[in-house]
Amino acid sequence: MKNSFLQKNKDELLTYGLLLIFWIVMEVMRRGGMLTSHFSSMLVPMTYYAIGAVALNLCVGILGELSIGHAGFMCIGAFSSAIFSLLFKETMPTAPRFFLAFLVGIAFSALFGFLIGIPVLRLKGDYLAIVTLAFGEIIKNILTAIYLGVDSKGVHIALNMTNFKIETDGIKLINGAQGVSGTPRNSSFTIGMIVLFLALFVTTNLIKSRDGRAIMSIRDNRIAAESIGINVTRYKMLAFTISAAIAGAAGVLFSHNVTTMTNISNYFGYNASIMLLVYVVLGGIGNIRGSVIAAMILYLLPEMMRGLNRYRMLIYAIVLILMMLFNWAPAMVDWRKKTFGALFKTVTKSNEKEVA
Protein backbone atom coordinates (compact mmCIF):
# COMPACT_ATOMS: atom_id res chain seq x y z
CA MET A 1 0.00 0.00 0.00
CA LYS A 2 2.69 2.41 1.09
CA ASN A 3 4.81 1.42 -1.86
CA SER A 4 2.06 1.85 -4.39
CA PHE A 5 1.46 5.33 -2.99
CA LEU A 6 5.13 6.14 -3.53
CA GLN A 7 5.06 4.64 -6.98
CA LYS A 8 1.95 6.51 -8.02
CA ASN A 9 3.15 9.87 -6.78
CA LYS A 10 6.85 9.46 -7.45
CA ASP A 11 6.95 12.36 -9.82
CA GLU A 12 5.26 14.86 -7.54
CA LEU A 13 7.20 13.69 -4.51
CA LEU A 14 10.44 14.22 -6.39
CA THR A 15 9.39 17.77 -7.26
CA TYR A 16 8.37 18.60 -3.71
CA GLY A 17 11.50 16.93 -2.36
CA LEU A 18 13.90 18.85 -4.60
CA LEU A 19 12.15 22.09 -3.78
CA LEU A 20 12.19 21.38 -0.07
CA ILE A 21 15.92 20.65 -0.14
CA PHE A 22 16.52 23.88 -2.05
CA TRP A 23 14.41 25.79 0.45
CA ILE A 24 16.26 24.37 3.46
CA VAL A 25 19.68 25.03 1.92
CA MET A 26 18.76 28.62 1.07
CA GLU A 27 17.26 29.20 4.49
CA VAL A 28 20.33 27.83 6.28
CA MET A 29 22.67 29.86 4.11
CA ARG A 30 20.61 32.99 4.63
CA ARG A 31 20.48 32.64 8.40
CA GLY A 32 24.14 31.71 8.50
CA GLY A 33 24.95 34.95 6.72
CA MET A 34 26.44 33.14 3.75
CA LEU A 35 24.36 35.03 1.23
CA THR A 36 25.04 38.56 0.17
CA SER A 37 22.18 40.96 0.78
CA HIS A 38 21.85 41.31 -2.97
CA PHE A 39 21.37 37.57 -3.37
CA SER A 40 18.88 37.41 -0.48
CA SER A 41 16.84 40.15 -2.07
CA MET A 42 16.52 38.01 -5.19
CA LEU A 43 14.96 35.05 -3.42
CA VAL A 44 11.43 36.48 -3.31
CA PRO A 45 11.39 37.55 -6.99
CA MET A 46 12.69 34.11 -7.82
CA THR A 47 9.68 32.50 -6.14
CA TYR A 48 7.16 34.67 -7.93
CA TYR A 49 8.72 34.11 -11.31
CA ALA A 50 8.71 30.37 -10.62
CA ILE A 51 5.00 30.63 -9.75
CA GLY A 52 4.39 32.62 -12.92
CA ALA A 53 6.17 29.91 -14.91
CA VAL A 54 3.97 27.22 -13.33
CA ALA A 55 0.87 29.25 -14.24
CA LEU A 56 2.01 29.76 -17.82
CA ASN A 57 2.99 26.11 -18.20
CA LEU A 58 -0.56 25.13 -17.23
CA CYS A 59 -1.78 27.30 -20.09
CA VAL A 60 0.89 26.53 -22.70
CA GLY A 61 1.93 22.99 -21.85
CA ILE A 62 -1.23 21.40 -20.46
CA LEU A 63 -3.98 23.33 -22.21
CA GLY A 64 -1.77 23.77 -25.28
CA GLU A 65 -2.67 27.39 -25.92
CA LEU A 66 0.22 29.80 -26.38
CA SER A 67 -0.41 32.84 -24.21
CA ILE A 68 2.01 35.75 -24.26
CA GLY A 69 0.01 38.00 -22.00
CA HIS A 70 0.43 36.26 -18.68
CA ALA A 71 2.32 39.16 -17.15
CA GLY A 72 -1.00 41.00 -17.51
CA PHE A 73 -2.62 38.61 -15.04
CA MET A 74 0.30 39.08 -12.66
CA CYS A 75 -0.31 42.80 -13.07
CA ILE A 76 -3.97 42.49 -12.09
CA GLY A 77 -3.10 40.37 -9.06
CA ALA A 78 -0.42 42.87 -8.04
CA PHE A 79 -2.60 45.97 -8.35
CA SER A 80 -5.81 44.60 -6.85
CA SER A 81 -4.01 43.18 -3.82
CA ALA A 82 -1.90 46.33 -3.37
CA ILE A 83 -5.06 48.46 -3.36
CA PHE A 84 -6.65 46.16 -0.82
CA SER A 85 -3.60 46.32 1.42
CA LEU A 86 -3.44 50.13 1.18
CA LEU A 87 -7.09 50.44 2.15
CA PHE A 88 -6.79 48.22 5.19
CA LYS A 89 -3.21 49.05 6.14
CA GLU A 90 -4.21 50.85 9.32
CA THR A 91 -7.26 48.85 10.30
CA MET A 92 -6.19 45.22 10.04
CA PRO A 93 -3.35 43.20 11.53
CA THR A 94 -0.71 42.05 9.05
CA ALA A 95 -1.30 38.30 8.86
CA PRO A 96 -5.03 38.22 8.06
CA ARG A 97 -4.70 41.28 5.83
CA PHE A 98 -1.99 39.69 3.73
CA PHE A 99 -3.97 36.46 3.53
CA LEU A 100 -7.02 38.39 2.33
CA ALA A 101 -4.81 40.34 -0.09
CA PHE A 102 -3.92 36.98 -1.66
CA LEU A 103 -7.57 36.05 -1.98
CA VAL A 104 -8.37 39.45 -3.52
CA GLY A 105 -5.46 39.24 -5.98
CA ILE A 106 -6.32 35.68 -6.97
CA ALA A 107 -10.04 36.43 -7.30
CA PHE A 108 -9.48 39.48 -9.52
CA SER A 109 -6.97 37.80 -11.81
CA ALA A 110 -9.23 34.73 -12.06
CA LEU A 111 -12.16 36.99 -12.94
CA PHE A 112 -10.15 38.72 -15.65
CA GLY A 113 -8.80 35.39 -16.84
CA PHE A 114 -12.37 34.20 -17.21
CA LEU A 115 -13.57 37.35 -18.99
CA ILE A 116 -10.58 37.50 -21.33
CA GLY A 117 -10.83 33.76 -21.91
CA ILE A 118 -14.31 34.09 -23.41
CA PRO A 119 -13.15 35.82 -26.60
CA VAL A 120 -9.55 34.59 -26.60
CA LEU A 121 -10.21 30.86 -26.38
CA ARG A 122 -12.31 30.96 -29.52
CA LEU A 123 -9.07 31.55 -31.39
CA LYS A 124 -6.28 29.13 -32.16
CA GLY A 125 -2.51 29.13 -32.37
CA ASP A 126 -0.85 32.35 -33.50
CA TYR A 127 -4.07 34.34 -33.36
CA LEU A 128 -4.62 33.37 -29.76
CA ALA A 129 -1.07 34.37 -28.91
CA ILE A 130 -1.46 37.77 -30.56
CA VAL A 131 -4.73 38.51 -28.78
CA THR A 132 -3.38 37.50 -25.36
CA LEU A 133 -0.42 39.77 -26.05
CA ALA A 134 -2.85 42.61 -26.81
CA PHE A 135 -4.85 42.00 -23.64
CA GLY A 136 -1.67 41.95 -21.58
CA GLU A 137 -0.68 45.33 -23.02
CA ILE A 138 -4.18 46.76 -22.52
CA ILE A 139 -4.19 45.82 -18.85
CA LYS A 140 -0.76 47.32 -18.31
CA ASN A 141 -1.55 50.52 -20.18
CA ILE A 142 -4.88 51.10 -18.44
CA LEU A 143 -3.24 50.67 -15.06
CA THR A 144 -0.51 53.12 -16.08
CA ALA A 145 -3.04 55.75 -17.10
CA ILE A 146 -5.56 55.54 -14.32
CA TYR A 147 -5.80 57.68 -11.17
CA LEU A 148 -7.73 56.13 -8.29
CA GLY A 149 -8.22 57.30 -4.75
CA VAL A 150 -10.64 57.40 -1.84
CA ASP A 151 -11.29 60.20 0.58
CA SER A 152 -14.08 61.40 2.85
CA LYS A 153 -16.21 62.24 -0.19
CA GLY A 154 -15.97 58.78 -1.73
CA VAL A 155 -14.11 57.14 -4.59
CA HIS A 156 -12.31 59.22 -7.24
CA ILE A 157 -11.36 57.84 -10.62
CA ALA A 158 -9.75 59.94 -13.33
CA LEU A 159 -7.67 59.48 -16.45
CA ASN A 160 -5.51 62.57 -15.96
CA MET A 161 -4.02 64.49 -13.08
CA THR A 162 -6.12 67.64 -13.39
CA ASN A 163 -9.37 65.75 -13.06
CA PHE A 164 -8.09 63.85 -10.08
CA LYS A 165 -9.45 66.01 -7.25
CA ILE A 166 -8.72 64.08 -4.11
CA GLU A 167 -8.90 65.69 -0.66
CA THR A 168 -5.80 65.84 1.46
CA ASP A 169 -7.26 63.35 3.93
CA GLY A 170 -7.69 60.74 1.18
CA ILE A 171 -5.52 57.83 0.09
CA LYS A 172 -4.08 57.83 -3.40
CA LEU A 173 -4.41 54.22 -4.49
CA ILE A 174 -3.17 54.41 -8.06
CA ASN A 175 -1.36 57.59 -8.99
CA GLY A 176 -1.21 57.40 -12.76
CA ALA A 177 2.19 56.60 -14.17
CA GLN A 178 3.67 56.79 -10.68
CA GLY A 179 1.72 53.66 -9.90
CA VAL A 180 1.00 52.37 -6.43
CA SER A 181 3.23 53.30 -3.56
CA GLY A 182 3.28 52.50 0.11
CA THR A 183 2.18 48.87 -0.15
CA PRO A 184 3.31 47.10 3.02
CA ARG A 185 6.31 44.87 2.50
CA ASN A 186 4.78 41.58 3.58
CA SER A 187 6.31 39.12 1.11
CA SER A 188 9.12 36.99 2.37
CA PHE A 189 11.07 34.03 1.05
CA THR A 190 9.11 31.71 3.34
CA ILE A 191 5.74 32.96 2.13
CA GLY A 192 6.94 32.86 -1.45
CA MET A 193 7.99 29.23 -1.10
CA ILE A 194 4.69 28.31 0.56
CA VAL A 195 2.74 29.88 -2.30
CA LEU A 196 5.00 28.11 -4.80
CA PHE A 197 4.27 24.79 -3.09
CA LEU A 198 0.54 25.53 -3.17
CA ALA A 199 0.70 26.48 -6.85
CA LEU A 200 2.53 23.22 -7.61
CA PHE A 201 0.07 21.25 -5.51
CA VAL A 202 -2.96 22.71 -7.29
CA THR A 203 -1.42 22.33 -10.74
CA THR A 204 -0.09 18.78 -10.42
CA ASN A 205 -3.25 17.52 -8.75
CA LEU A 206 -5.39 19.18 -11.38
CA ILE A 207 -3.35 17.51 -14.12
CA LYS A 208 -3.78 14.11 -12.52
CA SER A 209 -7.52 14.46 -12.08
CA ARG A 210 -10.40 13.83 -14.46
CA ASP A 211 -10.42 17.52 -15.38
CA GLY A 212 -6.71 17.44 -16.18
CA ARG A 213 -7.24 14.50 -18.50
CA ALA A 214 -10.04 16.36 -20.22
CA ILE A 215 -7.83 19.44 -20.63
CA MET A 216 -4.95 17.41 -22.06
CA SER A 217 -7.27 15.47 -24.36
CA ILE A 218 -8.44 18.79 -25.82
CA ARG A 219 -4.79 19.77 -26.31
CA ASP A 220 -3.99 16.50 -28.07
CA ASN A 221 -7.06 16.33 -30.28
CA ARG A 222 -9.99 18.66 -29.91
CA ILE A 223 -12.22 16.83 -32.39
CA ALA A 224 -11.74 13.50 -30.66
CA ALA A 225 -12.34 15.12 -27.27
CA GLU A 226 -15.67 16.45 -28.49
CA SER A 227 -16.56 13.07 -29.94
CA ILE A 228 -16.28 11.43 -26.53
CA GLY A 229 -18.55 14.02 -24.97
CA ILE A 230 -16.03 16.35 -23.33
CA ASN A 231 -17.24 19.93 -22.99
CA VAL A 232 -14.35 21.64 -24.75
CA THR A 233 -15.27 25.24 -23.91
CA ARG A 234 -15.77 24.49 -20.23
CA TYR A 235 -12.39 22.84 -19.77
CA LYS A 236 -10.51 25.43 -21.79
CA MET A 237 -12.04 28.14 -19.61
CA LEU A 238 -11.29 26.19 -16.45
CA ALA A 239 -7.61 25.76 -17.29
CA PHE A 240 -7.20 29.35 -18.46
CA THR A 241 -8.91 30.76 -15.36
CA ILE A 242 -6.87 28.66 -12.94
CA SER A 243 -3.73 29.63 -14.83
CA ALA A 244 -4.64 33.32 -14.53
CA ALA A 245 -5.42 32.88 -10.83
CA ILE A 246 -2.01 31.35 -10.12
CA ALA A 247 -0.31 34.15 -12.08
CA GLY A 248 -2.33 36.56 -9.92
CA ALA A 249 -0.91 34.97 -6.77
CA ALA A 250 2.58 35.63 -8.15
CA GLY A 251 1.51 39.25 -8.68
CA VAL A 252 0.44 39.56 -5.04
CA LEU A 253 3.91 38.47 -3.93
CA PHE A 254 5.37 40.99 -6.37
CA SER A 255 3.43 44.03 -5.17
CA HIS A 256 4.07 43.22 -1.52
CA ASN A 257 7.77 42.85 -2.20
CA VAL A 258 8.61 45.95 -4.21
CA THR A 259 6.17 48.20 -2.24
CA THR A 260 6.38 50.92 -4.91
CA MET A 261 5.12 49.96 -8.33
CA THR A 262 6.18 52.62 -10.78
CA ASN A 263 7.31 52.11 -14.32
CA ILE A 264 5.31 48.91 -14.51
CA SER A 265 6.07 48.32 -18.18
CA ASN A 266 9.38 46.83 -17.07
CA TYR A 267 7.69 44.33 -14.82
CA PHE A 268 4.46 43.50 -16.61
CA GLY A 269 5.11 44.37 -20.22
CA TYR A 270 5.71 42.23 -23.25
CA ASN A 271 9.24 41.39 -22.11
CA ALA A 272 8.02 39.93 -18.84
CA SER A 273 5.53 37.69 -20.63
CA ILE A 274 8.23 36.51 -23.01
CA MET A 275 10.58 35.87 -20.10
CA LEU A 276 7.96 33.62 -18.50
CA LEU A 277 7.58 31.85 -21.82
CA VAL A 278 11.34 31.31 -21.99
CA TYR A 279 11.21 29.63 -18.56
CA VAL A 280 8.38 27.38 -19.74
CA VAL A 281 9.94 26.42 -23.05
CA LEU A 282 13.39 25.75 -21.64
CA GLY A 283 12.03 23.88 -18.63
CA GLY A 284 9.97 21.72 -20.94
CA ILE A 285 6.51 22.44 -22.27
CA GLY A 286 4.06 20.54 -20.10
CA ASN A 287 6.79 19.73 -17.57
CA ILE A 288 5.83 21.64 -14.43
CA ARG A 289 8.94 20.76 -12.43
CA GLY A 290 11.19 21.74 -15.32
CA SER A 291 9.65 25.18 -15.60
CA VAL A 292 10.22 25.83 -11.89
CA ILE A 293 13.87 24.81 -12.16
CA ALA A 294 14.37 26.83 -15.35
CA ALA A 295 12.73 29.90 -13.79
CA MET A 296 15.00 29.70 -10.75
CA ILE A 297 18.23 29.19 -12.69
CA LEU A 298 17.47 31.72 -15.38
CA TYR A 299 16.32 34.36 -12.92
CA LEU A 300 19.26 34.00 -10.56
CA LEU A 301 21.91 33.63 -13.24
CA PRO A 302 22.05 37.09 -14.83
CA GLU A 303 21.74 38.70 -11.43
CA MET A 304 24.58 36.66 -10.01
CA MET A 305 26.81 37.58 -12.92
CA ARG A 306 26.52 41.31 -12.43
CA GLY A 307 30.22 41.31 -11.54
CA LEU A 308 31.07 40.06 -15.02
CA ASN A 309 29.28 43.05 -16.39
CA ARG A 310 30.58 42.95 -19.92
CA TYR A 311 30.15 39.22 -20.56
CA ARG A 312 26.94 38.82 -18.60
CA MET A 313 24.49 38.57 -21.47
CA LEU A 314 26.94 36.49 -23.48
CA ILE A 315 27.09 33.88 -20.75
CA TYR A 316 23.32 34.06 -20.31
CA ALA A 317 22.87 33.29 -24.00
CA ILE A 318 25.26 30.35 -23.81
CA VAL A 319 23.39 28.96 -20.81
CA LEU A 320 20.10 29.28 -22.70
CA ILE A 321 21.54 27.30 -25.58
CA LEU A 322 23.01 24.66 -23.29
CA MET A 323 19.72 24.25 -21.44
CA MET A 324 17.90 23.94 -24.72
CA LEU A 325 20.28 21.21 -25.83
CA PHE A 326 20.06 19.44 -22.49
CA ASN A 327 16.28 19.42 -22.62
CA TRP A 328 15.54 18.81 -26.26
CA ALA A 329 18.44 17.32 -28.24
CA PRO A 330 17.63 13.66 -29.05
CA ALA A 331 21.16 12.45 -28.23
CA MET A 332 20.97 14.23 -24.89
CA VAL A 333 17.57 12.72 -24.18
CA ASP A 334 18.97 9.23 -24.79
CA TRP A 335 21.99 9.89 -22.64
CA ARG A 336 19.79 11.20 -19.83
CA LYS A 337 17.49 8.23 -20.06
CA LYS A 338 20.44 5.87 -19.68
CA THR A 339 22.09 7.81 -16.90
CA PHE A 340 19.21 8.91 -14.73
CA GLY A 341 16.66 6.30 -15.76
CA ALA A 342 13.48 6.50 -13.79
CA LEU A 343 14.42 9.72 -12.04
CA PHE A 344 13.79 11.87 -15.08
CA LYS A 345 10.96 9.81 -16.43
CA THR A 346 8.55 12.65 -17.08
CA VAL A 347 11.17 14.85 -18.65
CA THR A 348 11.93 12.28 -21.27
CA LYS A 349 8.25 11.57 -21.72
CA SER A 350 7.42 15.11 -22.65
CA ASN A 351 10.46 15.24 -24.89
CA GLU A 352 9.55 12.12 -26.79
CA LYS A 353 6.27 13.76 -27.63
CA GLU A 354 7.96 16.81 -29.06
CA VAL A 355 10.63 14.91 -30.93
CA ALA A 356 8.13 12.53 -32.46
- Give the interface with other proteins as residue ranges (CB under 8 A): 201-202, 205-206, 208-214, 216-217, 219-221, 223-232, 238, 286, 349-350, 352-353, 356
- Per-residue CA distances from 137 to 10, 22, 261, 270 (Å): 40, 35, 16, 7
Minimum distance of other proteins from residue 180's CB (angstroms): 31
Minimum distance of other proteins from residue 203's CB (angstroms): 9
Minimum distance of other proteins from residue 223's CB (angstroms): 6
Residue 350 dihedral angles phi and psi, to the nearest 5°? -70, -25
CB closer to other proteins, 22 vs 328:
328
Minimum distance of other proteins from residue 228's CB (angstroms): 5
CB closer to other proteins, 95 vs 356:
356
CB closer to other proteins, 206 vs 297:
206
Minimum distance of other proteins from residue 334's CB (angstroms): 15
Work out the angle at residue 138's Cα, subtended by the Cα atoms of residues 88 and 270, and round it to the nearest 5 degrees. Answer: 100
> Which 3-state string (H, E, C) describes 301-334?
HHHHHHHHHHHHHHHHHHHHHHHHHHHHCHHHHH
CB closer to other proteins, 212 vs 251:
212
CB closer to other proteins, 97 vs 236:
236
Dist CA 57 CA 63 (whole Å) = 9
- Per-residue CA distances from 181 to 70, 178, 220, 234, 326 (Å): 23, 8, 45, 38, 42
Dist CA 287 CA 280 (whole Å) = 8
Nearest Cα neighbor of 143 from 104, 179, 181, 173 is: 179
Task: Say which residues have a Cβ less than 8 Å from residue 239's Cβ, sequence separation at least 6.
Answer: 58, 59, 62, 63, 215
Minimum distance of other proteins from residue 10's CB (angstroms): 13
Backbone dihedral region of 179: left (phi > 0), alpha (psi from -120 to 50 degrees) or beta? left
Total Cβ atoms within 10 A of residue 24:
10
CB closer to other proteins, 80 vs 203:
203
CB closer to other proteins, 230 vs 278:
230
Minimum distance of other proteins from residue 87's CB (angstroms): 29
